Amino acid sequence: MFAYLIRRIAYALPTMLGVALVCFALVHLAPGDPLVAVLPPDASAQLQAQLRQLYGFDRSYPEQFFSWLWRALHGDLGVSIATGRAVTGEVFKAVVNTLRLALVATAIGFALGSLFGFVAGYWRRSALDRLASTLSVLGVSVPHYWLGMVMVIVFSSQLMWLPATGAGPGGSDEWTWDWAHVQYMLLPALTMSVIPMGIIARTVRALVSELLDQEFVVGLRARGLATFGILRHVAKNAAPTALAVMGLQLGYLLGGSILIETVFSWPGTGFLLNSAIFQRDLPLLQGTILVLAMFFVLLNLLVDVLQTLLDPRIARS
């Protein structure tokens, strides 16, 4: 197990370096001058040169990359061009908000998706199977930003049950797990959970359907094991794959929540990325993308380790 863990970490290190390189290259290949957002229209050439030197834009791309990477390894992601604040602090607050929202959305999606998948897989070709499969297909197919706007119109504007935007009555800096704050999370979390729910439901349905045809299930039935006992054995065999899918979906929610966070004005990484893109704030954009990418790589590593704990055959293979 320890050797497998060391091997997985060794595989993750060059992946992280490649992610950092791609992140830096893609941001700098985008058209436009990042200093336009802070320079006045009549800025002198001397002022432009001073700002370029201040942000390091006067150096070659390799020099900028290695300087940025070295500072990032020490926790310094630079200074935001638009706000003048440290990128590390801005990204940290946004990551905490997005992680809080993504964990709740993933938990909802995993619970409902696993339930629908088990029901559809165990009672194949029944009305329950068709209903659960239809719900999972709708979950994957419906655009989540459109669903978010519909939920705002229905539950906030029409019924006035839940607030539409924000992260709490006092803002995200004063978050506590009470109803006054949780109600701000319900609409975006439910909207975000629809896609992972559909994907996990389809995955679990296929796994359960395949496992029920295997010989060990036939043997369990021949021994007279009750339905709950058979489901427990099936769930144990399906858990590693379902866990891997859940980990991937959590990573996608961390990096792909820009539209939902914009619709609900949730102060997370998606909302921060949206602001950085429109303001052409390169340090903020690079720092946010890098942190999200590192989260995704580390999350995959954690899922691999958890899979190995659930199924030791993975490590032996």
Residue 46 pLDDT > 80: no
Region 63-71: mean pLDDT is 81
Nearest to 147 by CA among 189, 106, 95, 182: 189
Q: How far is CA 167 from the centre of its chain?
A: 18
**Tokens read off for 104:** 């709740």
* Tens digit of each residue's pLDDT (9 = 90 or more) over 73-84: 887 787 777 777
The domain spans of the chain are 87-316
Instruction: Identify the CATH number of the domain defined by range 87-316.
Output: 1.10.3720.10
What are 161-188's pLDDT values in tens digits?
888 777 777 666 677 777 877 888 888 8
The pTM of the full predicted model, rounded to 2 decimals, is 0.71
**How far apart are the C-alpha atoms of 167 and 253, rounded to whole Å?**
17
pLDDT score, position 146: 84
